[in-house]
């Protein structure tokens, strides 16, 4: 007589790597399942492993399949790339840590799946391929089981109103005179209805005779006012339409485009930032000396972004509270590293590569690092630590001629600086004489829970001094 056993194996693992950086990132799938079929003379072990959607970053909740590198039926070797997954910030190659056959693709190209959901099935031998494909078909086509309908409450039976309780006669008292205790209104009713109040048994406190006792002795049935029956509001509330935001009319010829994974992540972060109380401070900065320095070092590969990032990092060393962060609303953290995140527009989204320890790197090494990060960002090959470790953000629109703008504070950071274009501006000196100098406007948005106006003003004053006397940037 045959029987089947369900055994748990060591969880298989997969890794994902960047095509520019072959360092491996591992994640663990759910335990593989081994089906053991026992016959009289032979035992066959069927091993099918599920390939799961990996978590490529701390903020990733779902991933999109960019492309399957392998096809169904392909034989896979350990360490071979299987699929390319788009996270909220980058595209990553997923590699297998097991030999086997790609038996079934559960999530096709262009579709998304939550982190931890199976996206493919890996069979150990050809004998398990059909079983794996049947499993994939059943999991993909099985309709969701509707929740059982709640049993209807039985209709309430009509219950006749309970008769008014009959007053319980007081215990028999000994013959003889007794003191009559009654309310004034009860005495008036007794006289009106010609009732001998001495023969009325009181039901009030301490045997007090109440008007109801007198009416009962006179044989008068009390008329109870019946309150009007009010319909239950539940049914009406259920029938009433739910108020919602008014639907905007469709514009003829308009096309609806769903968010990409990156756009959805940006949208989520922007909504989250609305819960942080922020304020903004602007400051004019003269840039003649900085422009002269840039003209000298530009041929050596130094960018204006690197100059501004270095100046901001040096100012943050003197004002660490601007580099702090508040994540739980109950405390704030002085970050030990100064990591300058710089906003970069890429096709279909926005990303902030991070110049880590920007205060400790010299200007030329910082520029080389920045060029490398930009290339990886535009090819969507940044590693998670290269875009989610910023402690202060710099956003520069000056190259587009924008003179000033406000930036939205990224979640988990204390401040973000918006840099406008440097333009010739007439400036008056202390004696009232005008001269034309290059000036840029910077606006800083800060978390008011940890950074106050005086803190931000002092930081901007230090930043302006470094930019206007930029020799320290090349040290």
Closest CA to 317 of 220, 114, 459, 198: 459
Q: How far apart are CA 45 and CA 58, in angstroms?
A: 37
Check if 448 is active-site. Answer: yes
Number of residues that make up the chain = 475
With beta carbons less than 8 A apart as the criterion, state whether 121 and 106 touch: yes
Q: Which helix (H) or strand (E) holds 232?
A: none
With beta carbons less than 8 A apart as the criterion, state whether 404 and 412 touch: no
Q: Which helix (H) or strand (E) holds 104?
A: strand 100-105
Single out the catalytic residue among 41, 193, 385, 448: 448
Q: How far apart are CA 181 and CA 200, in angstroms?
A: 11
Determine the 3-state secondary structure of 81 from DSSP.
Answer: strand
What does DSSP say about strands 415-419 and 392-396: parallel, antiparallel, or unpaired? parallel
With beta carbons less than 8 A apart as the criterion, state whether 203 and 171 touch: no
Burial class for 392, CB neighbours closer than 10 Å (0-12, 13-18, 19+): buried
Q: How far apart are CA 392 and CA 372, in angstroms?
A: 20
Beta pairing partners, 26: 15
Long-range contacts of 19-23, Cβ-Cβ distance < 8 Å, separation of 24 or more: 19/93, 19/381, 20/376, 20/379, 20/381, 21/381, 21/383
Q: How far apart are CA 344 and CA 396, in angstroms?
A: 9
Catalytic residues: 448
């Amino acid at each position: 007589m045959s029987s089947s056993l369900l055994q748990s194996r060591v969880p298989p693992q997969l890794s994902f790597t960047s095509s520019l950086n072959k360092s491996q990132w591992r994640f663990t799938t759910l335990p593989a399942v081994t089906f053991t079929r026992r016959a009289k003379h032979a035992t066959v072990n069927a091993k099918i492993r599920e390939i799961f959607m990996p978590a490529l970053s701390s903020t990733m909740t779902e991933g999109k399949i960019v492309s399957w590198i392998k096809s169904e039926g392909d034989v896979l070797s350990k360490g071979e790339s299987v699929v390319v997954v788009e996270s909220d910030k980058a595209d990553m190659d997923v590699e297998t840590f097991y030999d086997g056959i790609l038996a079934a693709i559960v999530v096709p190209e262009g579709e998304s799946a939550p982190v931890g959901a199976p996206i493919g099935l890996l069979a150990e031998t050809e004998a398990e391929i059909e079983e794996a494909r049947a499993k994939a078909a059943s999991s993909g086509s099985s309709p969701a089981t509707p929740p059982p309908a709640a049993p209807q409450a039985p209709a309430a039976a009509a219950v006749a109103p309970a008769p008014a309780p009959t007053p319980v006669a007081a215990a028999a008292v000994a013959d003889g005179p007794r003191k009559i205790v009654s309310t004034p209104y009860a005495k008036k009713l007794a006289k009106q209805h010609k009732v001998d109040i001495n023969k009325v048994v009181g039901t009030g406190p301490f045997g007090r005779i109440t008007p109801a006792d007198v009416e009962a002795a006179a044989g008068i049935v009390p008329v109870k006012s019946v309150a009007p029956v009010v319909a239950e509001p539940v049914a009406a509330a259920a029938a009433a339409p739910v108020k919602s935001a008014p639907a905007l009319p469709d514009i003829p010829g308009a096309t609806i485009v769903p968010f990409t994974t990156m756009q959805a992540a940006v949208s989520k972060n922007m909504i989250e930032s609305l819960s942080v109380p922020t304020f903004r401070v602007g400051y004019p900065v003269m840039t003649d000396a900085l422009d002269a320095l840039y003209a000298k070092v530009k041929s050596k590969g130094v960018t204006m972004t690197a100059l501004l990032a270095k100046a901001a990092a040096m100012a943050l060393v003197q004002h660490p509270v601007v580099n702090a962060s508040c994540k739980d609303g109950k405390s704030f953290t002085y970050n030990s590293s100064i990591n300058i995140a710089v906003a970069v527009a890429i096709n279909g989204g926005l990303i902030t590569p991070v110049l880590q320890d920007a205060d400790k790197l010299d200007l030329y090494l910082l520029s080389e690092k920045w060029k490398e990060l930009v290339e990886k960002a535009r090819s969507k090959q940044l590693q998670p630590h290269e875009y989610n470790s910023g402690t202060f953000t710099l956003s520069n629109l000056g190259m587009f001629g924008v003179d000033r703008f406000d930036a939205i504070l990224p979640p988990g950071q204390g401040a973000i600086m918006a840099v406008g274009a440097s333009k010739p501006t007439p400036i008056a000196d202390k004696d009232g004489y005008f001269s034309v100098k290059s000036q840029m406007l910077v606006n800083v948005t800060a978390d008011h829970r940890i950074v106050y106006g005086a803190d931000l003003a002092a930081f901007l004053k230090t930043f302006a001094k470094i930019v206007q006397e930029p020799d320290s940037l090349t040290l």
